[in-house]
Chain A
Amino acid sequence: MQGDQVDIEPLVRSAQEGNLSALGSIYESFFPKVYRYVAARVGHGPEAEDMAQEVFLKAMNSLGKFQFRGPPFAAWLFRIAHNLVVDRARHTKSTSGPAVPLDEALELPGSQNVEEQALQALDVEVLREALDKVSELQRQVVLLRFIAGLSLAETAVAMNKKENAIKALQHSALGALRRIMLPVISEFPARQQ
């Protein structure tokens, strides 16, 4: 996992042998990232808290099956989180709008300088609203790559897709988000004054 300083393998092996402290350490290491991932999707609050906790309960129940010969631990954990978030989206029938076509996304009005300034003011609520308007796959790539901080390979495992598919998805997702967010974020300098 990018930026992850914890040597996770000894902890996971120890937790698999029934060491509760090791399990606690894994939880402490990953909870913030899992929470951010879930909260960026469902919003900051009790639902995100409950879902983040649920991810770890499910992980604990399946930890015995995890093998180091397989996917990296972070990817395995986020696959659980991803499945939970996607299931929740299906149940709530959230507004997972159609993907914004890429060619449309790239025909942007306005000067690039204004866009760059506006991007500096991007906040998580604007991001969440924009994420509601892209496809589920595009949304998941953005959440896993840029919020949870997974690598391309880890994201591919978490989403059960090939790396090339993830590359294409992150390209289309950023293009789509740019198209959706520009009118909103362009207002930011004015809003903040």
Chain B
Amino acid sequence: MSDTKNIDALNTCLELLAQGSTVEACLARYPELAAELKPMLLLAMQTQRAGETIETPAEAQRVGLGRITDAWAERQAKRSQRWRSFRPLAKSWAIAMVAVMVLVFGGWTTSAAAAESVPGEVFYPVKKAQERFLLVVSFSDRGKAELHAKFAQERTQEIEKLATRGKSQAVMDRTAGRMENHTRRAVVLMGGVLPTPTASDFTAPTPPDIRVTLDPASGLITISENQGSRERHMIQERFLQQFQHFQEMEQRLPKQTRPIERASMEESFHRSQELLHRAILAMKALEEDESRQR
């Protein structure tokens, strides 16, 4: 029975079913094989339906995304370490690049125009190039983390400008993606881990740790900020401000925004807020580590 004709007939019928055809229509093509084909086709369809009843556990999906993000960040960090061996070369290359940029684009007037630009505008690539330059010349992980947090905030402000100017959702989504990338990198470079969100209460960050030291020889008292704590505090503040910014943005969406567009923007804002929530929790964990070490 299992000759090539039967095998081919079954496959043709399965393809037809996948394209939306009915069992009866398939069987009409092969009346002589209908008795054998019918139960097999029904079984295939029911197997497919049974498979569709398997629910995807949302929590596992979320945890999996966290594992991938962590693995991705680890890889990026390793690449960054490899890159460090080229630092001296990179620095001179970056300075040369910006010098050329300034010459080509007409100096700091261009820079000012670039700073105000949003995705899709002429000067936006200049703004991105300036940011890349700053990241290249900032050689400490914490310095880079601060820059990433700053750029994440910059992306958030751009999202608001895009929303008020009625730009397309695709452009806003790309900008939100960049904001998320910067946020994740800032957390990882600070040595934090993005947790799964559990609580929704955000407390104001603890001010930076102040160190008071006494030099026994000279008797001089020095008051200084702990540098690591200061950076953590700055980044934490930025994440909190951004979180609040997204909340305000929802309320400030132009009245003429169509409901479908509004829903899409709000969904995008919520995604960004969720990530910021996790980033804030990661910074909070670092803050607690600092407290324990004191």
A residues sitting closer than 8 Å to B (CB atoms) are: 2, 18-24, 27-28, 31-32, 35-36, 39-40, 44, 49, 52-53, 56-57, 60-61, 102-103, 106, 108, 112, 115-116, 119-120, 122-124, 126-127, 142, 145-149, 151-152, 167-168, 170-172, 174-175, 177-178, 181
Contact = CB atoms under 8 A, between A and B. Distances in A.
A53 B63 contact: yes
B50 interface: yes
Contacts of A168: 2, 7
Given A53-B63, A53-B67, A122 B7 contact: no
Contacts of A24: 65, 68-69
Given A112-B35, A178-B43, A123 B50 contact: yes
Contacts of A49: 57, 60, 63-64
B113 interface: no
A175 B60 CA distance: 35
A119 B46 contact: yes
B251 interface: no
Contacts, number: 144
B61 A31 contact: yes
Given A102-B2, A171-B7, A142 B47 contact: yes
B72 interface: yes
A167 B48 contact: no
Contact of B64 (A52, A123, A171): A52
A18 B78 CA distance: 13
A148 B39 CA distance: 21
Interface string B154-189: 000000000000000000000011101100100000
Contacts of A112: 35, 38-39
Contact of B65 (A27, A127, A151): A27
Nearest to A177: B43
